[in-house]
Amino acid sequence: MKHRPIGIFDSGLGGLTVVKAIQKELPRERLIYFGDTARIPYGNKSPDTIIRYSRQIIRFLISREKVKAVVVACNTSSAWALDEMRKEFKIPILGVIKPGAYAAIEVTRNRRIGVIGTEGTVFSGAYPREIHRLMPKAKVFSRPCPLFVPLVEEGKIAGPVAEAVVKEYLKPLLKEKVDTILLGCTHYPLLKKTIQKVAGKKVKIVDSADETARTLHRNLEIYGVELAGNGGGKYYVSDLSRKFKEHAQRFLGKSINRVEKIFIEKY
């Protein structure tokens, strides 16, 4: 079992930020990534659709690559599909909500936490639920930021346009005197500098990538950590656009050469 790869998926390429963290934490593991680039965004879709998409992807990862565990790097799928997927599949399936919530309660001092994410993630209430479980007295202020994903996709992560949009969305959270902002979406870590600039130095900006990688490591202690492998892996997508390489580079910080397009609907 331990020599099998780990599957990681997201609605697109944003989940590569989680891959980066896992590569650092578990350098010997072989990682299989699936980015649902044909069906992104998930953030504005209904729970039924998110569950169906997640199921197809996990079926694909298991049947094609025999993965030993799956990391749902997408916040929207973690929010809506994780419980259902855990019931349906036998292998360990990890989401990003719990690790993200943990990262936030670790750094807050005044227990006032802002959570930003897609419409779907915010509407699900998954982050406040998890934060309250860990820190019952926390006050959580959530806000969907639907324009952040297209900004990041277009590479507009800094400058006047990005700053204006970030200001608009953060205004109500900053008014509530949050001392921590949790980036509850795979794309938002790329906007971190701009978010930090708008929020000011006193506000801590956290995301779930590093904590997810650590949680995965702890879970694999039970199921089998690869100790002899050389890392590496493979990337699958459901659509291979002209801009794929540029986007992948932006999220992963290095280029990707092995990539295969898959017709995911058949799984």
Q: Which residues lie near ligand DGL (CB under 6 A)?
A: 10-12, 14, 40-43, 74-76, 117-118, 121, 149, 185-187
Tokens describing residue 73:
């790097």
Smallest separation (angstroms) from ligand DGL to the CB of 188: 8
Q: Residue 17 or 180: which CB sits closer to ligand DGL? A: 17
Single out the catalytic residue among 145, 185, 190, 264. 185
Instruction: Rank residues 40 and 103 by Cβ distance to ligand DGL and give the closer one.
Output: 40
Cβ count within 10 A of residue 261 = 13
Residue nearest to ligand DGL as judged by C-beta position: 43
| In the complex, minimum distance from the CB of residue 91 to ligand DGL, in angstroms, rounded to a whole number | 21
Least Cβ distance, residue 117 to ligand DGL (angstroms) = 6
Listed in sequence order, the residues at least 6 apart from 242 whose beta carbon sits closer than 8 Å to its beta carbon are: none
**74, 199, 237, 252: which one is catalytic?**
74
What are the Cα distances from residue 151, in Å, to 25, 32, 148, 243? 29, 27, 5, 15
* Known active-site residue 185: yes
Q: 163-167 contacts: CB < 8 A, separation 24 or more?
A: 163/194, 163/197, 163/198, 166/191, 166/194, 166/195, 166/198, 167/198
Residue with Cβ nearer ligand DGL (40 or 162):
40
Peptide bond between residue 172 and the one before it cis (omega within 30 degrees of 0): no
Encoded tokens for 143: 């806000």
Q: CA-to-CA distance for 220 and 150, rounded, in angstroms?
A: 35
Q: Is 74 a catalytic residue?
A: yes
Answer yes or no: are the C-beta atoms of 24 and 225 closer than 8 Å: no
176, HSE (Cβ side, Cα atoms, 13 Å) = 19
Query: How many CA atoms lie less than 13 Å away from 261 in the CB half-sphere?
Result: 8
- Work out how close the CB of 163 gets to ligand DGL at its nearest, in angstroms, rounded to a whole number: 21
Smallest distance, ligand DGL to C-beta of residue 247, A: 12
Using an 8 Å Cβ cutoff, are 43 and 76 in contact?
Answer: yes
- Judged by beta carbon, residue 114 or residue 117, the one nearer ligand DGL is 117
CB nearer to ligand DGL: give 68 or 124: 124
What are the beta bridge partners of residue 6? 31, 69
Shortest gap between Cβ of 221 and ligand DGL (angstroms)?
27
CB closer to ligand DGL, 49 vs 112: 49
Catalytic residues: 74, 185
